[in-house]
Structure 1
Amino acid sequence: MFRVVSLNLNGVRSAATKGWLDWAAGAEIDCMGVQEVRAGAEDVAGRFDAIGELKGHFHHAQKKGYAGVGLYTRHEPSKVVHGFDGGEFDDEGRYVEMRFDTPARKLSIISAYFPSGSSGEERQAAKYRFLDLLRPHLQKLIRAKREFILMGDINIAHREIDLKNWKGNQKNSGFLPEERAWLSGVIGAGRGELGLIDVHRTLRPDDGGEAYTWWSNRGNAYANNVGWRLDYQIATPALAATARTVSVYKTQRFSDHAPLVIDYELSL
């Protein structure tokens, strides 16, 4: 099996103090995407740039202590792509892609950190700009016949089953109709839709509260499982068809997010 993990760290240094490195070293991971690294290259070098046999590749934000994404792998990529838009969101460190290309196959694994709009209208507008730029980028990958897994914290709960208090969040960022419609257009298979696969939901379509990956630090949200499913692995159909098991790891807490773990029958 080829194990792929996605986790928003909420700060690589913070997660490390909570046992994340030890867990990752022993979890038989082939590839791990991390988001919200919140550290620069100088902070990562020699401390977090490798976990056991996993070598890390990062896209850091220009702003100190902000955003940032990474990919750890035990397989050497043929190429690493840092960023996708050449501007605003590359500056924020929101996309890194590893390519494992052979004459017979073009394969990518992507770690992405979608903006949150919860802090106000300005960031919600930035979130919409990000979505508007990412969709044609994904279309370009599809047209190039590139198989890929896009994983990360996408900051959108797609359906009512994907968050506890859906009725009270219909006007809140993360569950707005426009955001959900964007995601439907990415993972839908109708005319004009991209036809990608929400791997978790395909394997476990009725997985309610067990699918949550984020809980607010306010109140007793985690204890009461008042959560949201914000972390995804979205794949091209052929890759998604190789997925066999999915779980959300909750035995230890490294962050306000939990690791999303999916095993694929995949070889590089």
Structure 2
Amino acid sequence: MNIISYNVNGIRSASTKDFFGWLQSSEADMICLQEVKAQPVQIPEIIALIEQLGYHHYWFSAEKKGYSGVAIFSKIKPNHVEYGCGEEWIDKEGRILRADFDTFSLMSVYLPSGSSGDDRQAKKYEFMQFFETYISNLRLSYPNLIISGDYNICHTAMDIHNPKSNANSSGFLPQEREWMGLFLESGFIDTFRHFNKDPHHYTWWSFRANSRAKNLGWRIDYHLATVPMLERLKNVEILPDAIHSDHCPVLLELDA
């Protein structure tokens, strides 16, 4: 079973760059999207393409048009889909969507970015604190859980091209990195690092200074799996050659 996570930075923009041709060739069974920046009623042509490829599709869009939003496409129909998390401001921004299947649950999540200023950084910390408790409680009922998405956090110095110059940058702040470490220690596996310990693997590059071509990036997109899922993990790959966004997809191969 192939599961992809991808921050598309706008599904309409990505679709003009042959995103759906790529998706068909990827043979993904499930795909978690972040920053879809659209509501389904706005994109009937895109909805038709998704259905032609054989996917059931579920969207949790932000109230603000052209902003945030997550989605899950799946060739296997889920038993249940949970829209949001019950925290009003988070749900208004369309940041959490979960699909429950027979043997595991899959979540598409998009953490806030704090790069625009102190107010948004404070909201990011608020999200992180809430999310930790929310997931701790959720795991009591759903112990087999994969949380895929854009965390907007580089966990270690290996996950960012220049840790020294970015020491005070949102996404690599000590408090953010500590939170990520504690979240993993609470019972999650960073699936990419489970298979690959090498540096210079990134999932996001600035549009500035030819950063992608120079591989001056950040690894901020993850598939995190609960420890009970360990024996089902087969491989994880970052796919930098897929260029529909400033992010790239991350592929998780799971024993079905």
CA RMSD of aligned residues (A): 1.3
Q: CA deviation at 1:78?
A: 0.7
Question: 1:179-217 CA distances to partner (integer Å, 9 max, x unpaired)?
Answer: 1111111111xxxxx11111111111x2211x2000000
SS at match of 1:170: coil
SS at match of 2:63: coil
Gaps of 5+ in 2: none
Q: Does 1:253 align with 2:252?
A: no
Aligned partner of 2:206 in structure 1 is: 216
The answer on whether the counterparts of 2:100 and 2:106 sit within 8 Å (CA) in structure 1 is yes
- TM-score w.r.t. the length of structure 2 is 0.96
Question: 1:49-87 CA distances to partner (integer Å, 9 max, x unpaired)?
Answer: 625012210100000100000000000111110101330
Q: Does 1:197 align with 2:189?
A: yes
SS at match of 1:168: coil
Q: CA deviation at 1:244?
A: 1.4
Q: Which has the higher helix share?
A: 2
Aligned-partner residue type, residue 217 of structure 2: G
Structure 1 runs of 4+ aligned residues shifted over 4 Å read none
Q: CA deviation at 1:225?
A: 0.3
CA distance in 1, matches of 2:97, 2:246: 22
CA distance in 1, matches of 2:235, 2:85: 30
CA distance in 2, matches of 1:240, 1:94: 26
Q: CA deviation at 1:46?
A: 4.5
Q: Does 1:56 align with 2:48?
A: no
Aligned partner of 1:229 in structure 2 is: 219
Q: Does 1:207 align with 2:204?
A: no
Q: Does 1:241 align with 2:224?
A: no
Aligned ranges 1:92-103 → 2 under 5 Å: 92-101=93-102
Aligned partner of 1:122 in structure 2 is: 119
More deviation, 255-264/137-146: 137-146
CA distance in 2, matches of 1:220, 1:86: 38
Q: CA deviation at 1:41?
A: 2.5
Aligned partner of 2:68 in structure 1 is: 67
Aligned partner of 1:178 in structure 2 is: 175
Aligned-partner residue type, residue 32 of structure 1: I
Q: In the comparison of the two structures, how many residue pairs are matched?
A: 254
Aligned partner of 1:31 in structure 2 is: 30
CA distance in 1, matches of 2:16, 2:245: 10
Question: 1:200-243 CA distances to partner (integer Å, 9 max, x unpaired)?
Answer: 11111x2211x200000011101110000010000111213311
Aligned partner of 1:191 in structure 2 is: none
Question: 1:116-139 CA distances to partner (integer Å, 9 max, x unpaired)?
Answer: 000000100010111011111110
SS at match of 1:56: strand
- TM-score w.r.t. the length of structure 1 is 0.92
Q: CA deviation at 1:145?
A: 4.5
The answer on whether the counterparts of 1:85 and 1:133 sit within 8 Å (CA) in structure 2 is no
Gaps of 5+ in 1: 189-193
